[in-house]
Amino acid sequence: MRARTRTSRRVVVLAAVATLGAGLLAGCADDGGDENSNGSSSGDGKGKTTITLGLFGTMGFKEAGLYAEYEKLNPNIKIAETVIERNENYYPPLLNHLTTNSGLQDVQAVEVANIAEITSTQSAKLQDLSKVSGVKASNWVDWKWAQATTKDGKTIGLGTDIGPMAICYRTDLFEQAGLPTDPAEVGKLWAGDWNKFVSVGEQYKEKAANGTYFMDSPGGLINAILSSETEKFYNSSGEVIYKTNPAVKNAFDLTAKAAEEGLVQSSTQFQAAWDQTIANSKFATVACPPWMLGTLKGKSKPESVGKWAVAVAPKSGNWGGSFLTVPSSGKNVKEAEKLVAWLTAPEQQAKLFKVQGSFPSAPSAYTMPEVTGAKNEMTGDAPIGTIFAAAAKAAPEQVIGPKDQIIQQGLTDNGVILVTKGKSAEEAWETATKTIDNSLDQ
């Protein structure tokens, strides 16, 4: 899953705690999830053990039929999920419950942007899943396993999906702008260099269809660039380096250049105005992990079906992904561990990708037919499974810090987007860094 935080963490914490009251265990589910009304995980009165999961967004386990399959394999088990739609409403209460070690469900999901904070501050409250029968580090890409492993070697979360980065582009808009449309040729245009990507945008603008932009948003561009770096906001020692790391400033300046030249829309991703630009075919490219294809499908008009294609990104990166953790205070710890190990096994990850588009973090799934034969109606016959698998293998093992989400949001919502509204790159950088530093000090 992906992070989509759009408000300061302090505001979110206050609002979420006030709204959710008793918290995750008695929280309301969204339309896509079951609500565990009594919060009990001791059983359902029929001799079965009920394992409760606290999730966010649409993780797809229920939709892919995995709960039903597990319950059939284990007749003594019943599974109940509680789903909160947005991670920014889910995570603050989860952190509060972990801090107090109370009100936790048997299984709790954690988004990748928050995993560093959990591993560094809450690992004592969670089970070491590396000790569960059948769990092997080699079942996951190296960097996914490392993200949920503490410095002393305790692995507190098993990876579900990841978001290996590609570039999705509109073949009709590229053709109109005089650019190649074959994915291999398109990838060559910007191979190995995000500066080349922006240069292609300049070529696009010369003959672009009226009212269209090369890329969807400044936030999408800076996020894609930074996702391909080994270090961005923190170094390996855990120090905040975003203001002194040349990779961050270079990404900011390159995105600001694209904004100044009118190559990116003045839009914030995942908000209503951005959704409308998808429907109206207003941009030609978007940084594209596998789950983005679902977003494009959900927001596009029927005439856009089959007009998208997928090319390799200038540099491989990762955007999104989640983990399943097992709180040590749960009522059904051992059964929860078994369920988490099964849900994140390669076979189940492949099934989930076929139904939900959540790309596996298990390399052995990449040779399974659910991945090798994957296609998406938005991209026609493109071998999307093969493309994303190659990107996953090439993505760097990135240093993730506890406040990555706050810093990323500051650079986008209080930074590069200001350049599309007339601010200079220098003014935008100053505003972004002040906002970030104030948030980090709270």
- 209-267 pLDDT, tens per residue? 999 999 999 999 999 999 999 999 999 899 999 999 999 999 999 999 999 999 999 99
Q: Which residue has the tokens 């904070």?
A: 117
Give the bridge partners for 286, in sequence order: 168
Report how far apart, in Å, the C-alpha atoms of 372 and of each of 141, 382, 384, 389 are.
Answer: 17, 11, 8, 9
Confidence of residue 18 (pLDDT cuts 50, 70, 90): very low
Q: What is the pTM of this model?
A: 0.83
pLDDT tens digits, one per residue of 362-419: 999 999 999 999 989 999 888 999 999 999 999 998 999 999 989 999 999 999 999 9
Q: What is the mean pLDDT of residues 187-195?
A: 97
Q: Is 104 exposed, middle or buried (0-12, 13-18, 19+ CB in 10 A)?
A: buried
Neighbours of 432 (CB within 10 A): 24
Contact criterion met (CB below 8 Å) for 268 and 418: no
Read off the DSSP letter of residue 155: B
Give the bridge partners for 311, in sequence order: 167
CA 411, distance to chain mean position in Å, is 17
Confidence of residue 19 (pLDDT cuts 50, 70, 90): very low
Q: CA-to-CA distance for 356 and 351, rounded, in angstroms? A: 8
Contact criterion met (CB below 8 Å) for 263 and 138: no
Please provide residue 114's backbone torsions phi and psi, each rounded to the nearest 5 degrees: -110, -5
